[in-house]
Amino acid sequence: MTNTLKHKRIIFGLICPALLVLACIVKNSPPARAISIPDELLRQKVVVIDPGHGGHDPGAVGPAGLAEKDVTLSVARKIKEILSRAYEVVLTREDDYMVDIVRRTGVANHHHADLLISIHAGSGFGHQAQGVVTFFHSPGTGPGSIPFRKERDSWEVGEKPLPWDEIQDKHRAKSQALAKLVHKHLLAKLNPESRGIREAPLLILQGADMPAILVEVGHLSHPAEEKNLRRPDVISATAEAICEAIKEFFAKYP
C-alpha cells in the first residue's frame, strides 16, 4: 500500500464516524421552525405626550398669572421622567415654543405612537369652573359632545373627504377606555371635582392614528386650582396618576 493510499484510508476512517454522528444528530433534531414574533413585542411602546399651548400662546392664565403652557409642560416633563424607564416617551414640544396642532398629531403618527395624551389646564366661564375633564374624539354626534366647528363644512360639493377626519374613528373604543383610566387615576390620586369624560371633535385627536385623548388636569381660572397647580407635589401627583393609567392601559391592551 502506498503512503498516499494509507493516508486516504485513515482520513476516510476518521471522517465517516463523524458524518455518522452528524447524521444522527440531524435525524434526531426537531425540524427547524420559523419563529414569528409579533411586531408589537419586538418594539418598545411609544408614548407621545403633548403639552398644550406654548410660546406666544400661553393658553389659560390664572388670576395670579400662572400660564397653562407652563403647567402642561411641567406635567409632561414629569411623565417623561417617570415613564422613560419603561417606554419611549416623546414630547410634542420640549420647551416654551409654539407647535401647530396638526403638527402635534403628526409627531405621534410619525413615531407610530401607541398612545397620545394631550395635557391642558384650561379655564371655565367665570372663576367657578374647576376639576378634571377628559376628552376622547367623536365626530360631534354623541351625548355630551361639544359643538365644535367641523372642517367638513368648508368642503366643496363632490370633493373627496380628507381622510384625516376619519383616522381616529377606528381607535375610538380604545381612546374611550384610555380616557376612563386617566380620569379614574386622576380622581383617585388628587380627589378633584369630576367634570366627566366627554366626547368632542377636537382637532388634535381626529387625525391621530392611535388611541388618543385630551385631559384638562384642572382649571387655572379657579383661584384655588391655580394655587394647587403651582405646587410641585401636585404636578408630580398629576403626572404619576397619568402614568398609572398608561401602565394599566398597556396591561389591558398589550
Binding interface with Zn ion (CB under 5 A): 52, 59, 120, 122
Minimum distance, C-beta of residue 139 to Zn ion, in the bound complex (Å): 21
Cβ distance to Zn ion smaller for residue 101 or 187: 101
Minimum distance, C-beta of residue 70 to Zn ion, in the bound complex (Å): 12
Cβ distance to Zn ion smaller for residue 45 or 53: 53
**Residue nearest to Zn ion as judged by C-beta position:** 120
If 0-12 CB within 10 Å is exposed, 13-18 middle and 19+ buried, where does residue 47 land? Answer: buried
The span from the CA of 131 to the CA of 123, in Å, is 10
**Grid coordinates of 26:** 440531524
Helix 232-252 / helix 172-190 crossing angle, nearest 10 deg? 140
Cβ distance to Zn ion smaller for residue 100 or 166: 100
Cβ distance to Zn ion smaller for residue 51 or 211: 51
Minimum distance, C-beta of residue 59 to Zn ion, in the bound complex (Å): 4
The span from the CA of 165 to the CA of 152, in Å, is 8
DSSP 3-state helix, strand, coil percentages of the chain (rounded to 5)? 45, 15, 40
Cβ distance to Zn ion smaller for residue 120 or 172: 120
Minimum distance, C-beta of residue 82 to Zn ion, in the bound complex (Å): 22
Question: Contact 119/69 with Cβ under 8 angstroms?
Answer: no
Minimum distance, C-beta of residue 204 to Zn ion, in the bound complex (Å): 10
Question: Contact 117/202 with Cβ under 8 angstroms?
Answer: no
CB-CB neighbours of 103 under 10 Å = 13
